Chains A and B, each alone.
Chain A
Amino acid sequence: MVIHLNEKLCVGCQLCLEVCPTGCFEFDEQAKKARLILPLSCLDCKACELNCEGNAIKIEKSLFQNFFAQLI
């Protein structure tokens, strides 16, 4: 699974930080935009994608990408 964060679409609502149960995002106070910091911790719950006010997040299923990186 891969998280795509389109920073151009980000409106800085911080909902992704509010809903993510594994702390995958952080907020860049200067740019006023979210940043992906722990993509491998993603649980694939799609809460961020569903609640993102800027429609900036897409969670894409991919079985073989990051295969071992995620498991180790």
Chain B
Amino acid sequence: MELLNTLKELISISIAGLAFPGFNFHVKPGLYPIGNPSKEAPILITSNYFVTYKRVTASLKKQAIIAWLLVVDTKGVNVWCSAAGRNFTAEKVISQITKSNLSKSVSHSRLILPQLSAAGIDHMKLKQEGWDAKFGPIDINDIGEYLSNNCKKNPAISQVRFPVQKRIENTISHNVFITLILLPLVLLINILANPIGFLRPWSEWLLPNVLFLFVYIWVFGLLYGITYSRIPFRSGFLKGLLISIPFVPLCSFIFFNETTLDFILGIGTLFLYSTVISTDFDGFTPIVGMDFFEKDLILLALSSVIIVLIVIIAPLIG
């Protein structure tokens, strides 16, 4: 999951980089004053991913928090992925503290780390260097409550949540990602399946197969992302399968209704698309781990083999 998340993050950054050449997605590591902090102001730590920095500073401003913000060089990757990928470690924090001459700006040694950085940061290493590090809330929007509660946490601010706004955000990133993976693949399969490829009228295959997939990814992806928390099961594969039971036959009936064979093949193909999308979405949720994802992939692989066999055998038996 770590690698996958980092990869996805890097792909998204690269795409954004291609779309906006010259735009820098890394924030310069260093010590940033928020408001007009005194030597006693709290020290908050974050990654140097541009989006994280923007969100953290905007949230601190909104909550009227005066603090020192130490931005650590995590190679421009967000807190969770950089910690899991060992780019946000105690050594990196210590190195940034030294580079930024932190002890000159403050008169205390209390550090507040983002909770999700705990997957990479060993707080004892910071202690050995004389820093008293605590893991703050998961969401920066809860930092005000955390500070006013004497740096004490309750489950509401220390456990991951996946509210609808975040689900929509992640669904959009995921849809972009899965479109870039599935669309060229289906395009290639269509060309290979029709040796004369582009010589056939485009309308015969491009519109029904490729553009349909594009629309399907976005409609199913959004439906799945929005209803995600309400669908039973934790497994993305099982969730996708369940939501597909009414959705897929209906779609197949509307769009692939020329013959019974078309209808059956439509069902098989759409089940495959749906479960690929829902299983892969696991990696875009904050509540699924690598171990879990691998189990889900096994279910997806088994069902894909069955569906592909049906798709191959059905036309043979007419």
Listed in ascending order, the chain A residues whose CB lies under 8 Å from chain B are: 1, 15, 17-23, 42-47, 50-51, 53, 61-63, 67, 70-72
A21 x B295 contact (CB < 8 A): no
Chain A CB within 8 A of B160 CB: yes
| Docked-complex contact B135 and A19, CB < 8 angstroms | yes
Mark the stretch among B111-119, B182-190, B308-316 that contacts chain A: B111-119
Q: Which residues of chain A come closer than 8 Å to B233, judged between CB atoms?
A: 71-72
| Contact in complex: B295, A70 (CB < 8 Å) | yes
Q: Which chain B residue has the least Cβ–Cβ distance from A24?
A: B159
6 residue pairs bridging A and B, Cβ less than 8 Å apart: A22-B160, A42-B291, A50-B122, A51-B122, A72-B233, A72-B235
Q: Looking at the assembled complex, report how far the CB atom of B296 sits from the nearest CB atom of chain A, in whole angstroms.
A: 7
Contact B295 A71 (CB under 8 A): yes
Q: Is A43 touching B234 in the complex (CB atoms < 8 A)?
A: no
**B18-62 to A contact mask, C-beta < 8 Å, 1/0:** 000000000000000000000000000000000000000000000
Q: Which residues of B are found within 8 Å of A70, using beta-carbon distances?
A: 234, 291-292, 295
B88 → A minimal CB distance (Å): 12
On whether the beta carbons of B124 and A47 are closer than 8 Å, the reply is no
B178 contacts A by Cβ under 8 Å: no
Task: State the CA gap A14–B233 with chains docked (Å).
Answer: 30
Inter-chain contacts of B290 with A (CB < 8 A) = 44
Q: How far is the CB of B227 from chain A (nearest CB, A)?
A: 18
Give Cα A72 to B295, complex, Å. Answer: 11
| Pairwise interchain contact B153-A18, C-beta atoms closer than 8 A | yes
**Minimal beta-carbon separation of B143 from chain A (angstroms):** 15
Q: Which B residues are CB-close (under 8 A) to A21?
A: 115-116, 138, 158-160, 286
Contacts of B235 in A (CB 8 A): 71-72
Q: Which 4 A-B pairs have the closest CB atoms?
A: A44-B289, A47-B118, A19-B118, A71-B235
Q: Is there an interface contact between A50 and B118, defined as CB atoms closer than 8 Å? A: yes
Q: Which residues of A contact B159 (CB under 8 A)?
A: 20-23
Residues of B close to A45: CB separation below 8 A: 84, 118-119, 289
- Tell me if B169 is interfacial: C-beta within 8 Å of chain A: no
CA distance A20 to B122 in the complex (A): 14
Supposing A21-B115, A53-B124 touch, asked if A71 and B292 sit within 8 A by C-beta, the answer is yes
